[in-house]
Structure 1
Amino acid sequence: MTKPNLLVIDDDKIYHFLVSRILDDVKAGEQFSEIHKFFSGSSALTHLKENQNSERKLILLDLNMPGMSGFEFLEALDKYEDVHKHCTVYIVTSSVNESDRARADEFSIVKGYLVKPLKKSAIENLIAQEVR
């Protein structure tokens, strides 16, 4: 099985720093072909559209972002079947609102819902499920 690409989409610089530390700890460079970090859903969507290929993409997506929210990103991604079919999304959010979780479950590409702060064990479990 080929290694997937990892996309981290979140507007928070501190979150990106913490995720980078966790990814370093779990040797994510060995687990993923490439790791991309985006501070907006729109920049991640542009990247995905410009890099349409058959490589698997694992996406860690925040819901609450300015500009394009995580839900708006998912709705936009749904329109691009050639990209969408290669993506698996895990929501990573501070929202514990059940309506957010239920709405996320409506999207077929959303495989999990993780609540911040993200822990190393959550990334290890995700790698075990999606990479190995």
Structure 2
Amino acid sequence: MKSICIIDDDRIYTYGISKIIKSHLPGNELSSFENGRKALDAITKMAENNEALPDMILLDIDMPEMNGWDFLHAFQKVRDKIEKEIEIYVISSRVNDNNEELYKIEWNQKVSDFIQKPVNIEALKKLLK
């Protein structure tokens, strides 16, 4: 089982994806944050205190205060200091075939994959294998 961190300001989406994971993929740990700043602060604190870090981050792009791209830039400093490999999946309604390749070139080392919203059960099962 995995520890999953959801970073998304859409409370309805966060509730829905949490419900899907709990119902169809039980046993996984979930945490959620409404923007990149809150998530970065929490993960940084976990790393500093040698607490268990998430295995996977489901990251939205369009958020207030700190968006997904800014989170990725800032998170790299934390990532460089830890030994654990954390998978990051960008999940956004803005991801499509036209710009996905451009994103992959720029974020090749930082992002595991780009996934179009809404995410379905099968896509989540595939991620959590």
Aligned CA distance change for structure 1 residues 51 and 26 (closer, same or farther; 3 Å)? same
Say how many residue pairs are matched.
123
Residue of structure 2 equivalent to 1:76: 74
Unmatched 5+ stretches in structure 1: none
Structure-2 separation of matches of 1:55 and 1:68 = 20
Unmatched 5+ stretches in structure 2: none
Residue 78 of structure 1: SS of its match in structure 2? helix
Aligned CA distance change for structure 1 residues 101 and 16 (closer, same or farther; 3 Å)? farther
State the Cα deviation string for residues 39-93 of structure 1 (Å, max 9, x = none): 0100000011000146452000001111111000000011221248532100110
Structure 1 residue 94: Cα displacement: 0.3
Task: Report the TM-score, using the length of structure 2 for normalisation.
Answer: 0.83
Alignment check: 8 A CA contact 1:78 1:84 kept = no
Structure-1 separation of matches of 2:82 and 2:42 = 10
The percentage of counterpart residues that share the same residue type is 30
Structure-2 separation of matches of 1:102 and 1:37 = 28
Task: Report the TM-score, using the length of structure 1 for normalisation.
Answer: 0.81
2:63 pairs with one of 62, 65, 71: 65
Structure-2 separation of matches of 1:96 and 1:60 = 14
Moved over 6 A (4+): none
Structure-2 separation of matches of 1:104 and 1:76 = 18
Structure-2 separation of matches of 1:111 and 1:82 = 19
